[in-house]
Structure 1
Amino acid sequence: MANAEDRKFEVLRAIVADYVSNQEPVGSKALVDKHNLGVSSATVRNDMAALEDEGYIAQPHTSAGRIPTDKGYRVFVDRLSEIKPLSAAERRAIKNFLEGAIDLEDVMRRSVRLLAQLTRQVAIVQYPTLSNSTVRHIELVSLTPARLMIVLITGSGRVDQRTVDLGDVITEDNIARMRTVLNGALEGERLTDAAAAVAELPEQAPAELRDAMMRVSTVLVESLVEHPEERLVLGGTANLTRNVADFPGSLRQVLEALEEQVVVLKLLAAARGPGSVTVRIGEENEDEQMRSTSVVSIGYGSDDMLFGGMGIVGPTRMDYPTTIAAVRAVANYVGQILSGR
């Protein structure tokens, strides 16, 4: 029975490969002619009939060949024994492109553009979440004698800027003293711990700095606590329109769903940790508007910390091995860059 099951999977694999490549229903004769399955045409027809009975393939209309169903794609993805790695040249090009970024904003923009180009799908990249970050540095910049800019730089490279009115003139020496106190107490701390620690700093400050430190601390806490919204970057939306037939009657719904930030965040919610790829196919997607799509998502970050998620959205008829390899490679390099490795 095992041999029969393995043979049926090979037939399914061949149907997936041909349909992804040609977007045409696949018949038994084409399979026999093109793929070295090692069995007769009658056996292939019997296997296709069994696959159809079990819900792995379907006949879109009478006298047509067969196409994979969501269930068929799921078995195909689950049984991928290996993901074809990107070539050394491809990996080098990805690394060089991303390492040319000048700041976090540039890393995010380059990442989403690169993912969209490599996969020819819609790419989504989530900015690093603050709750998983640490304080790298706090800078105080004098705007006027009584007004400061607070610049918070996190370990993942995220930069948050806020201004604070001090209510009185402050000298550059006292600004330097406050900067030293803030960084001495907060550098290297997780943002949630830093938010608690910063509340205690005014009481510990010298009397002449107490009021200014209170105002700075009050504003700084707003940067340290988790933002209720998560920032996202999308790219390559036009790629969905290349094959409108992949979204019969639903392309507009998909495009409208991608405009909803909550929906897109849900698509990345399955990203559990750096390097772990999740594939949701068709009906497995929670949002009804996205059930004609597949979502390949992954977490990115350091070895022990998840910064955020990224992934692609495309039709269920996609080249899963190549897409998974591209998503994994980009996530790996983004994690390395933001970890400072």
Structure 2
Amino acid sequence: MKQPLVEVKQLKKYFPIKKGIFNRTVNHVKAVDGIDFTIYKGETLGLVGESGCGKSTTGRTILQLLPPTEGEVLYEGKNLVGMPKRELRKLRKDLQIVFQDPYASLDPRLTVGEVIAEPLEIYNLLPKKEREKRVDELLEVVGLNSYHAKRYAHEFSGGQRQRIGIARALALQPKLIVADEPVSALDVSIQSQVINLLQDLQEQYSLTYLFIAHDLSVVKHISDRVGVMYLGRMVELADKDELYDNPLHPYTKSLLSAVPIPNPLVKRERIVLQGDVPSPANPPSGCTFHPRCSACMDICRTQRPVFQEINGHYVACHLYN
């Protein structure tokens, strides 16, 4: 039986909108609006959706880089939300992140060796000489050379910088890595190299990934299960083959219809959504997808659909009630 590593329960993250000379809160941006899912040990859970749907906020809220507004994040049974800082700091070794922009996430004043060694220094894990040896090992593991440790981030290409970011995330031997769109800023040829590297590292170090992306073909390649988010809510979650072969939610069907097929003789019917994505500061009532859904019913406008299981396939849609 699969063991859960992280359990997310009714997680919410609202950002206040403030106006006026008294800086009063007049509204909230509902970036994450009550989502539930589990990440099992050793798996890769892909998280997809349009820009602004709350994917990155979900990842950062799980790691407590952003404090949740409501909900629970259980890591190995321990609730990270509201945990005392001293206890949380001990667990941070197990929870790491690879950011989307590899250049912005690396300190330009430090050499690559200092960047990778910094987590080891903060936790006082190894003597200085052993730290240097560990840095050289990590650089070799991610496909770089030990002499790169003396260089600075601006001397590397985008793909190399992302490898450095991955090496830094591995320094503390984590159990969970949140990969926040780690290949979206890279060339297509480099994307495949980084994806293959992440898969090799997962096997080598028994890692668990939350892989956030908007490229559905990349997500299918690396993920075991895939969750689909829309406007801060999870609308579908299933094994990757089940989701891609048998999508249930109209939004998922639309996303998959846009994935290119590498065969000019095969044509796929494109499902074009009407209108724009509503504002997360003023989401529609009921099902937030109903203004753009061709299968919209009266109940969709007033009642929020329950995120329910149908033969191991989770979906939030009134069509399946």
> TM-score range, shorter-chain basis?
under 0.3
Which of the pair has more CA radius of gyration? Answer: 1
User: If each structure's helix is expressed as a fraction of its own residues, which one has the higher value?
Assistant: 1
**TM-score normalised to the size of structure 1?**
0.22
